[in-house]
Amino acid sequence: QSVLTQPPSASGTPGQRVTISCSGGSSNIGSNAVNWYQQLPGTAPKLLIYTSDQRPSGVPDRFSGSRSGTSASLAINGLQSEDEADYYCAAWDGSLNGWVFGGGTKLTVL
């Protein structure tokens, strides 16, 4: 069972806005930044959002992140077919002294 909690699935139609939640605790999201990753089948996770709300260069501004208390969320505006992937949240856990992950959310573009 993953330390961070995500919904197992999400879906939307092209052009819609979709949000994915990530819930944790005081030792991880409550005190450290959240990162989001996109994973396409057969590939490694790719950094999508870091420090809760920052995008690496090359990531479209359709992707945004936020954090409040012990929860975080990833929003995708203007959903596109190529956004169909698995999405993971991650944060440093000060009590476990290691990185912890969510169980992943499979996003389907209908």
Interface residues toward other proteins, by CB under 8 A: 2, 33, 35, 37, 43-47, 50-51, 56, 88, 90, 96-104
How far apart are CB 43 and other proteins at their closest, in Å?
8
**H or E segment and range at residue 93:** strand 85-93
Nearest to other proteins of 60, 99 (CB atom): 99
Find the angle CA(37)-CA(26)-CA(85) to the nearest 5 degrees: 15
How far apart are CB 69 and other proteins at their closest, in Å?
20
Nearest to other proteins of 3, 79 (CB atom): 3
Q: In 10 A of CB 5, how many CB atoms?
A: 15
How far apart are CB 50 and other proteins at their closest, in Å?
4
User: How far is residue 59's CA from residue 85's CA, in Å, rounded to a whole number?
Assistant: 15
